[in-house]
Every structure is written in C-alpha cells, then in structure tokens.
Structure 1
Amino acid sequence: MNRREALKNIGLTIGYSSIAPSALSILQSCTSDVEKWTPVFFTEEESIVIKHLVDLILPKTEATPGALDVNVPEFIDLYASKAYNDEDKAEYKKGIESIIEALHIPESGAKHLNTEGYSTLLDKYLRATKAEERQFKAEKSIVYEALLNLRNQTVWAYQTSETVGEKVLAYDPIPASQKGCISVEEATGGNAWSL
C-alpha cells in the first residue's frame, strides 16, 4: 500500500469512527424479535416495503445471515428518526413515498405485493445500464436516488452489525501483532476486517 492509499484509509476510518458510536448504540437498541418491531419513523406500510427491499438487497445465504437476520430495517428506522434533522427526514420520507408509488401497491396493501414486484423495481433502478443511470440522474429521479440511498444504508447497517462483525468479517477483539506485507488471504482468509 502506498502512502496516499494509507492516508485515504485513515481518513475513512476517522470519518466512520466519528459516527460509529451513535450508530452502534442505535443498532444495539434494535429488537431481535421482528414480529414485535413497531416502526418509529416509518409508517406500517413503509416498514413492510423496506423489509422486503432490504431482504432482496442482502438475502440470507448458506454462509451468511441476511439483512433481516441482523435487524437492518429496524436500524434504518431508528437511524432516520434519531440522526436526521427535520429537513432530512422530510427528504427521506419523500424518497420512500416515491418508491411506494413506483411499486404500484395493490389496494389490499404492501403485504399482498409479491416478491416479483419488488425485484422488478430493484432490477430497473439498481441494475441499470450506464446509459439508463445517466438518464435517471439527468431526470433527477427520486426513486433512483432513494433506492441507491436505501442500498447504501442497508450495506452499512449490515456491515456494522455485531453478528456480521464477529461471524462474517475478520474479527480480533484484541489485536496483538502487526504483520506487514502479507496478503489479505493469508491475514484474514480473504475477509475484510470488522470495525
């Protein structure tokens, strides 16, 4: 690693460490019983939509837990309610409402929308070609921006969860030695370090 990359990584670490304590406290306050979750920021309908989208963004696999397993929707809900100011909350709500509008939810509610409806929306906006992405940006598509934001929040919340940090990523609660110039595969089995 050259000096420039090292300084860049240090800057990223400092940026994450300044928000990490409040984010971690929010994550720890998330209930582990999804059935008992009562949204704080989202409406009931919005929470159903968020749960479905987050589950499709980071599904459970044989080797790793999914976003629902580590309470990502609950984290996003609490984070939005506690970390955003009124202006940001209004903007965020506008994005979520645009997603709901784009889903064309039936009158019976979001519970009755099948997975295909959610997948189609994610495919359209998050698997877009470069030309389509440019078009979404030129049109200032609220749905596109909201889904990008949701995906980024989902990945961030997932990576900062205790379960993923200790069981999926490389984790050493008391790092004892420094080994320079070794490959990531040799150091951690190819996994990124848990923060």
Structure 2
Amino acid sequence: MNRRIAIRNMALILGSAAILPSCLTDKGKPVVQLKKLKVDADQEKVVNNLAETILPKTDTPGAAELGINLFVFKMIDDCYDKEHQADFIKGLCDFADAAKKQLGKSFNEATVAERTAFVNTVDINAKNEKYKDVTKLTAFYKMVKDQTVFGYTTSKYFMTKQIVYELVPGRYNAYFPVKKLAAV
C-alpha cells in the first residue's frame, strides 16, 4: 500500500516539474485580455508604473495595489472609439520612447524619483497650450491620468474607506425639524 502512494506522489512531483517551466515563462504575454487593444507585457508594465506614479502608495493603497492599471486598460478597450484607441497605442509608444530618451533607460527600469520627475515634465507639457498638438503622448497621458483618477474614486476601497457612500434617498430622519426644511 505504501508503494502505491509513493509511486503516485512521485508521478505528481514529476508532472509538476514538467509543467512548472511553462508556467513561469510568460514574459511577453500581457495579464489583461483585451478585445481591441494589442499590448505586450512591457507596454502593460509601462501603464502600470505610470498609474502607480500618478497615485503612489502612501498610507492609502496605491493604484497598483487596487488594480487601477487593469481598470485603465479595460475602460480604454471597452469605452473608447477606434481613433482614441489608436491614439492610446501611439502615445504609449511615444511615452516609452520619450522616457528612454530623457532618462537614458526605459520607464520600467527607472527609479521612483526618476519616474516622478519625468511624469511631472509630461504633465506640465500636457497642460501647456503650445505642446497640445505635438504628439499623441499628451493624449495618452491624459487618458491614463483621467482613467486612473476615475478608477480610484470609484473603487471599493475609496467608496467604503475614504468616503462613506450612501445610496440616493439617504437615511430617513423622522426627527428632522420642519422649520429647518422650510428655511432651505
């Protein structure tokens, strides 16, 4: 009886050892399955790091911890038209190229301080009227920033821990004075 258990356990261990390398090597495969956007793992990581740079972890969870990066991809894939999706992909490539040119390394390899400094320059250029039509980089940055903030303010954490969310009619207060109501 013990020999059968030992053979079964050995078969499980060998089977696991054969499958394990294929589970660990999904380097070029993105985490998010999108219908319209085609992004690779490096591009996904750029957006993840950008969202984390916009909303970093402090005493509250950051964008990466709340999964806001996945929200950004899903919203752009599902809710934006083809023109804006093309602008997103082109802007993503421009953003990665600009980061590599300015930082001397990819945005993913940069330190948090370097990322923050680079994003601040992009933010200043996005707000400046002169740079609005130069590249798709500003459109990409604005899309990611808008969706990151929107995803954070509509997240379960924000709605339950940061602000107390009540459904529309609110609470019934039977002791509310009528005189205060008439004054409003």
Shared fold per TM-score greater than 0.5: yes
Select which of 169, 180, 184 maps to 2:163.
169
Inter-partner Cα distance in structure 1 for 2:114 and 2:166 = 41
- Correspondence 1:113 to 2:110: yes
Question: 2:146 is matched with which residue?
Answer: 152
- Correspondence 1:55 to 2:52: yes
Q: Output one character per residue of 1:4-55: Cα deviation in whole Å (capped at 9) or x when no partner.
A: xxxxxxxxxxxxxxxxxxxxxxxxxxxxxxxxx7123432111111111111
Q: Relative to 1, partners in 2 of residues 1:76 and 1:129: Cα closer, same or farther, differing over 3 Å?
A: closer
Question: 1:39 is matched with which residue?
Answer: 32
The offset of 1:129, in angstroms, is: 9.9
Select which of 48, 69, 72 maps to 2:68.
72
Inter-partner Cα distance in structure 1 for 2:170 and 2:78 = 32
Q: Relative to 1, partners in 2 of residues 1:59 and 1:149: Cα closer, same or farther, differing over 3 Å?
A: same
**What is the aligned residue count?**
140
Residues 95, 146 of structure 1: 8 Å contact kept: yes
Bigger Rg, which one: 2
Normalised TM-score (structure 1): 0.60
Q: C-alpha root-mean-square deviation of aligned residues, in Å?
A: 3.0
Inter-partner Cα distance in structure 2 for 1:99 and 1:46 = 10
SS at structure 1 position matched to 2:151: helix
SS at structure 2 position matched to 1:112: coil
Residue type at the aligned position of 1:124:
T
Residues 63, 148 of structure 2: 8 Å contact kept: yes
Normalised TM-score (structure 2): 0.63
SS at structure 2 position matched to 1:69: helix
Residue type at the aligned position of 1:93:
I
Residues 102, 121 of structure 1: 8 Å contact kept: no
The offset of 1:167, in angstroms, is: 0.9
SS at structure 2 position matched to 1:49: helix
Inter-partner Cα distance in structure 2 for 1:129 and 1:146 = 10
Inter-partner Cα distance in structure 1 for 2:89 and 2:146 = 16
Unaligned runs of 5+ in 2: 1-29
